Amino acid sequence: MSTTERFIPDRLQSPLQKKIKSWESLLLAVAIAIFIANSFASPYFLNAWNLSDATFNFTEKAMIAFAMALLIIAGEIDLSVASIIALASTAMGAAAQFDVSTLTLVLIGLGVGLACGAFNAILVCGMGLPSIVVTIGTMSLFRGISYIVLGDQAYRGYPSDFAFFGQGYVFWVISFEFVLFALIAVLYGILLHKTNFGRAVYAIGNNATGALFSGIRVNRVKSILFLLTGLMSGVAAVCLTSRLGSTRPSIGLGMELEVVTMVVLGGVNILGGSGSIPGVVIAAFVMGLVTFGLGLLNVPGIVMSIFIGALLIGVIALPRLWEMWRK
């Protein structure tokens, strides 16, 4: 109180200093450690084709995770993403039975994704309902429609060039999906961190009422986020359907939890207000590496999920335990 200094500096810490102490750095260290551990544990790990294969473990989930990250930062959530994949994939499968072009299939997939996102947006932003409940509802509804259409059947017979999205390679071992993942990561990174829209997302997540009173169009921003999440689920549906070459109503079952796990692991506060796209990118690699490494060691998928679950709780719990222990 006694300071008479009038000048207020912009910052006390340089952005670099902040970065070093950040969650992302910790996570990056974890990723590197897992990478090194894996390369010792299995001789097959450090193989370009194997590593490239491993990226499929996370690229589709990560595409959705970027949009989900923005949604969670803004204080909302969408648990219906995996069901949007199912519905979009079912729509594409149904269309494929009429020998439509690959471009049309892709547009149908993206369109259904957008439409599902719009439906969530109307319920949450238009009617003011809580997103967690709404999207638990639409999660059942969207996949339920797939079940009504398909029952215990499956759609096959996608055109042969449709396989490119999920199985094609752009350059040497670099898959189309990986390129798409990287591109989407950059776009979302710019959107969240460099634009007015991104700033509004943070403002809404920290205090939605305050943001509204500051002239932010809260409902419009949130609606766009639901649309983006729907659209990304549509993109993921195209990739996943193309990779699997068939559609069953159970496609992508439970993927919403892995997406949310990825987002939270990436340092996004589940309660909204903070988080970053680089964090989510690193989290995607961590999850992919763990899954891949354990796969090489012949650990079954279900056991890997124990590691993912433990990772999710562990990365949040350990810093807090450490702090408690220091006190």
Partner 1 sequence: MQATTATEAPVLRLDRISKIFPGVKALSEVDLALYPGQVTALVGENGAGKSTLVKILTGIYQPDGGEITVDGTPVSFPTAQDAAAHGITAIHQETVLFDDLTVAENIFLGHALKGRFGLIDTARQRRMAAEILHSIGAEIDPDTRLRELGIASKHLVAISRALSIDARVVIMDEPTAALSHKEIHELYELVEKLKAQGKAILFISHKFDEIFRIADRYTVFRDGQFVAEGRISEITEGELVHMMVGRSVDQVFPKRTPSIGKEVLQVTGYDHPTEFEGINFTLRRGEILGFYGLVGAGRSEFMQSLFGITKPSKGVTKIDGEITVIRSPAEAVEAGIVYVPEDRGLQGAIRPMPIFQNVTLPSLSRTSRNGFIKLAEEFALAREYTERLDLRAASLDTPVGNLSGGNQQKVVIAKWLATQPKVIILDEPTKGIDIGSKAAVHDFMAELASQGLAVIMVSSEIPEVLGMSDRVIVMREGRIAAELSGDEMTPETLVRHAAGIAEA
Partner 2 sequence: MTQLLKSREMILTGAIVVLLGIVATRFPAFIAPSNLLGVFNDTSPLIILAIGQLVVILTKCIDLSVAATLALTGMVSAMLNVAFPDMPVVLILLIAVGLGTVLGAFNGVLVWKLGIPPIVVTLGTMTIYRGIIFLISDGKWVNSHEMSAAFKSVPRFEIGLPMLSWFAIVVVAIFYVAMTRTTLGRAFYAVGGNPHAAVYTGINVGRTQFWAFVFSGALAGLTGFLWVSRYAVAYVDIALGFELDVVAACVIGGIAISGGVGSVGGAVLGALFLGVIKNALPVVNISPFWQMAISGSAIIIAIAVNTRASRTKGRIILKKAEQAA
The reply on whether position 125 binds partner 2 by CB under 8 A is: no
The reply on whether position 17 binds partner 1 by CB under 8 A is: no
The reply on whether position 194 binds partner 1 by CB under 8 A is: yes
Residues 6+ apart with CB under 8 A from 202: 73, 273, 274
First to last CA, the chain: 29
For the segment 77-106, give every residue that binds partner 2 (CB under 8 A).
Answer: none
Q: Residue 276: which of 130, 99, 70 has the closest Cα?
A: 70
Binding mask 238-277 for partner 2 (x = CB under 8 A): -----------x---xx--x--xx--x-----xx------
Q: Is 44 exposed, middle or buried (0-12, 13-18, 19+ CB in 10 A)?
A: middle
Concatenated DSSP letters of 246-306: SB-TTTTTTHHHHHHHHHHHTT--TTSS---HHHHHHHHHHHHHHHHHHHHTT--HHHHHH
Give the pair of three-digit tokens for residue 113. Answer: 């994704």
The reply on whether position 22 binds partner 1 by CB under 8 A is: no
Residues 6+ apart with CB under 8 A from 148: none
Task: Give the nearest distance from C-beta 208 to partner 1 in angstroms.
Answer: 9
Judged by CB under 8 A, which of 52, 206, 250, 305 binds partner 1? 206
- Name the residue nearer to partner 2 (CB basis): 129 or 154: 129
Judged by CB under 8 A, which of 64, 69, 139, 277 binds partner 2? 139
Judged by CB under 8 A, which of 34, 134, 211, 218 binds partner 2? 134
Q: Residue 146: which of 252, 250, 255 has the closest Cα?
A: 250
The reply on whether position 197 binds partner 1 by CB under 8 A is: yes
For the segment 278-317, give every residue that binds partner 2 (CB under 8 A).
Answer: 300, 302-306, 308-310, 312-313, 316-317
Task: Give the nearest distance from C-beta 212 to partner 1 in angstroms.
Answer: 6
Select the span of 47-55, 105-113, 190-198, 297-305 touching partner 1 (CB under 8 A). 190-198
**Angstrom distances, CA of residue 27 to CA of 21, 202, 252:** 11, 22, 26
User: 211 contacts which partner out of partner 2, partner 1, none, CB within 5 to 8 A by kind?
Assistant: partner 1
Concatenated DSSP letters of 87-125: HHHHHHHHHHTTT--HHHHHHHHHHHHHHHHHHHHIIII
Judged by CB under 8 A, which of 19, 48, 103, 213 binds partner 1? 213
The reply on whether position 127 binds partner 1 by CB under 8 A is: no
Measured between alpha carbons, how far is 219 from 273 in angstroms, rounded to an integer?
Answer: 16
Query: For binding to partner 1 (CB under 8 A), which residues are involved?
Result: 1, 6, 8-12, 194-200, 202-203, 206-207, 209-217, 273-274
